[in-house]
Structure 1
Amino acid sequence: MTTSSGSQASPARVLGTADAVAIGAGAMIGAGVFAVFAPAAAQAGAWLPLALLVAGVVAYCNATSSARLAAVHPESGGTYVYGRERLGELWGHLAGWAFVVGKTASCAAMALTFAAYALPGAERPLAVAAVVALTALNYRGVRKSAVLTRVLLAAVLAVLAAVVVAVAGSGRADPAELSLAGDWPGFFGLFGAAGMLFFAFAGYARIATMGGEVRDPATTIPRAIAIALGGVLVLYLAVGAAVLAVLGPDALAASSAPLADAVTAAGWPSLVPVVAAGAALASLGALLSLVLGVSRTTQAMAADRHLPRYLAGIHPRFGVPHRAEVAVGAVVVLLVATVDLRDAIGFSAFGVLVYYMIANASALRLGPEENRPPLLVPVLGLAGCVVLAFSLPLPSVVAGVAVLAAGAGLWLLRARWGRPGR
């Protein structure tokens, strides 16, 4: 979610379905696929593919609700705007708060994923260095271009294809590891794994907010959402099944770099540097975008007085929200130094699921004349977000609820004492 103020020129409607699909897939296929299968396997075991399907369905509902809301509220801001306009100011504030805290944890997860593949054994120092370096780049106004997004997507797809082919052709993958005849993980295990796997779909909302950039958005956006999410789901099912079949649930759950361990177990240790390079590209590319997006949201919330006004400052030379960027970078460094990858993924998933709870609740307030989605979509999305969020590991849920409560407390303090004339 990004926000902006002031007048903006209308973007040109130059993107077709293929462009929207590529941008959406590029936003989704990133570091998550290199890291999330291990904590998901710890929750669901051999039921991991079913958990992935559940996560994909919830992601589709969220994206569809967001797309319909974006058509009615075309201003930048995502659910920060939808919640405020449809449910009230508190809900908009909580959506923005959940986004900032969830995506800040995502930044830590991206940095730790990069370090786990690039330099096992020295993850934290390398992850801290990556955060500092990319925060410095963003401070000077560096952006990822659309061309770079496509290059990164092509490189990561090639690496994931190499993993699947290496495992499938090795003769060491055991289909019995995919059997559902083993231990049932329980609904908390299945849905908790789906909540973790939801992290790997992060970015799909990029399609939903492209209304001003695509040709015939009423047709193109729903089609692009279905194609991109469907394609990414098939890819994740292939990769997840491959690593599960060659490692087994227990070894997969214990892995800190599951795709590297999978190609090693398949007898292709020479591919480990290739996988590490793919993970580095995906993680650093996602981290660059995340620090950019979270800092802009932080700056916008500060400008609206939902966060300290000091964070709203814009650098006079580089034109970036430099105070917000430094603050976000500092918090991410703190998280990298104190939490592990699984905790970061769980906490991030909780925050983002709360964000989409509010999006689906907002979509339920759309009227028939506002192209409201079929009622089942926001209802299923809302219920799915609630179930997945509260099925995550207990520490993630407790920490998430505590941070949301703190956000609500800040809003109440602002409402009571922060308004002019009080």
Structure 2
Amino acid sequence: MAAESDRLARRLGTGDAVVIGLGAMIGAGVFVAFAPAARAAGAGLLLGLVIAAVVAYCNATSSARLAARYPSSGGTYVYGRERLGPFWGHLAGWGFVVGKTASCAAMALTVVAYTAPGLGQPWRGLLAVAVVAALTAVNYRGVHRSALATRLIVAVSLLVLACAVVAILVAGTPGGEGLTPFPGAGPAGVLEAAGLLFFAFAGYARIATLGEEVRDPARTIPRAIPVALGIVLVVYAAVAVTVLAQLGPAALGASADPVAQAVAATSWAPLAPVVRAGAAVAALGALLALVLGVSRTVLAMSRDGHLPRGLAAVHPRFGVPHRAEVAVGVVVAAVASVADLRSAIGFSSFAVLTYYAVANASALTLGRRAVPVVGLAGCVVLAFSLPWTSVAAGAAALAAGALAYVVRRA
């Protein structure tokens, strides 16, 4: 049990929690996941989006019920430990940390790709490191300040996406033929697309991992998760349909910057640089929220001895787990300096789906089992529908975490 002086201050309300979730989901999905999903399934990515949303809803519902009962930092790490046993809590926490570390690196690389598209190594890696360092410094100064910064970033991102959708509908040439999933989209491709698109929905975990920092968590967390998820689903559906109709499945799958490319193909082409700037801002918002959530899980695992206990310290002035945040920032910077964006997405999706599988299994012990059963089955199916390289790398990382647990117990 953590000492009272190591407890985090409860500063966040429902609006702050919703915005943190929006910042993670919107930045991660709209500007990153649609292109690889289109390569996997063509127009079937729309079906994949629906499947990913159903699984995300089940996960959100299970997480909300668990977070209301266990309102402390750590998310599914805490739920798995309390409901299933220490090993499952450790595995969930490990999956979250390694998966979201990859997500953080992906977001840093996304910022660099949109702000400096022609930059090569080693300068691309150095710029990604600088981005991570700046966002870590914002989080270090206090979670309330991070929530305010995220609110501004989310507002800018939503405005830019709205402008892109309007530009395509008003000044573009969208065609309905690009929205027909069959023929051309097989079940395996649709499931792979759903697994990749799930990466875009996973931001609501940030809300659950902030359980120790929200006011009245039993009421705030169950409200914030579905609100954030519903807003994001509407945004994703609007962007996916318009971009797919404008570019078509083949061009969408081949594009590194699909939303901007779709706008550039309209008579409002001068708006494309604004969209690129908005993509960078959205990725910054995602990185801000991701580092926030990963550091809180590191805090919880350090308190229990699964990670070095020195990382459990809370800053006496800013009220944040400063050592955990610095450690996460250093690891993310190292990964971002050498990683590939596409492989980071697949690896993160596999690890995070494992994390939510433990969440649904934990929720099964609370009764009302229909939703967690669907969520658990969906997580397993989507995880093993990802590219085999992502499955192999993710399984190896989880096996390393399990081995670490066994060695520590021995």
TM-score by length of 1: 0.86
Look up the match of 1:369: none
1:107 and 2:122 matched = no
| Contact 2:68/2:217 (8 A) holds in 1 | no
2:113 equivalent among 95, 116, 122: 116
In the other structure, the counterpart of 1:155 is 156
Contact (CA 8 Å) 1:211, 1:221: kept in 2 or not? Answer: no
1:302 matched to 2:263? no
* Contact 1:38 1:256 (8 Å CA) reproduced: yes
Code of the aligned partner of 1:179: T
Residues 1:395 and 2:389 are matched in the alignment:
yes
What percentage of residue pairs aligned between the two structures are identical? 63
Give the distance between the partners of 1:143 and 1:103, measured in 2 at CA: 21
Deviations 1:25-81 (A, max 9, x none): 444322321111111111111111110011111111001011111222233321111
**For 1:318 and 1:67, how far apart are their aligned partners in 2?**
27
Change over 3 Å in CA distance of 1:313–1:276 after alignment to 2: same
Gaps of 5+ in 1: 367-371, 417-422
| Matching residue of 1:361 | 361
Q: CA RMSD in A?
A: 2.9
Match of 1:6 in 2: 4
* Secondary structure of the structure 2 residue equivalent to 1:275: helix
1:249 is displaced (CA, Å) by 1.6
Deviation at 1:382, TM superposition (A): 0.3
Relative distance call for 1:104 and 1:255 in structure 2 (3 A) is same
Question: Are the counterparts in 2 of residues 363 and 378 from structure 1 also a CA contact under 8 Å?
Answer: yes
How far did 1:250 drift? Answer: 1.9
Which amino acid in 2 is paired with 1:41? A
Which of residues 79, 83, 99 in structure 2 aligns to 1:86? 83
Please name the residue that 1:414 is paired with: 408
Query: Residue 51 of structure 1: which of 48, 51, 55 is its match?
Result: 48
For the residue of structure 2 that corresponds to 1:202, the secondary structure is: helix
Partner of 2:178: 177
- Aligned-partner Cα distance in 2 for 1:174–1:83: 47
| CA distances 1:175-228 after superposition (whole Å, capped 9, x unpaired) | 2111123312x322111111111111122235557699577956x765654444
CA distance in 1 between partners of 2:262 and 2:282 (Å): 18
8 Å CA contact 1:173–1:266 kept in 2: the answer is: no
Q: Distance in 1 between matches of 2:313 and 2:382?
A: 37
C-alpha contact (below 8 Å) 1:36/1:197 kept by paired residues: yes
Equivalents in 2 of 1:5, 1:275: separation in Å?
A: 47
SS across alignment from 1:84: helix
Deviation at 1:135, TM superposition (A): 2.9
CA pair 268-127 structure 1, distance change in 2 beyond 3 A: farther
Q: Is the 8 A contact 1:260 1:272 kept in 2?
A: yes
Once the 2 structures are TM-superposed, how far is the Cα of residue 282 of structure 1 from its aligned partner? 1.4
Change (3 A) 1:303 1:33: same
Q: Which runs of no fewer than 5 residues in structure 2 stay unpaired? A: none
Q: Does 1:74 align with 2:71?
A: yes
The correspondence of residues 279-318 of structure 1 with structure 2, limited to 5 A, is 279-312=279-312
- 2:36 corresponds to 1:39: yes
Show the 5 A alignment for 1:362-377: 362-366=362-366, 372=367, 374-377=368-371
Say how many residue pairs are matched. Answer: 404
Candidates 71, 83, 93, aligned match of 1:96: 93
* Conservation of the 8 A alpha-carbon contact between 1:175 and 1:245: yes
Q: Aligned pair in 2 of structure 1 residues 44, 245: CA closer, same or farther (>3 Å)?
A: same
CA distance in 1, matches of 2:42, 2:61: 30
Name the SS for the 2:336 alignment partner: helix
Which residue of 368, 372, 375 corresponds with 1:378? 372
Query: 8 Å contact 1:298–1:311 — kept in the other structure?
Result: yes
TM-score (normalised: structure 2): 0.88
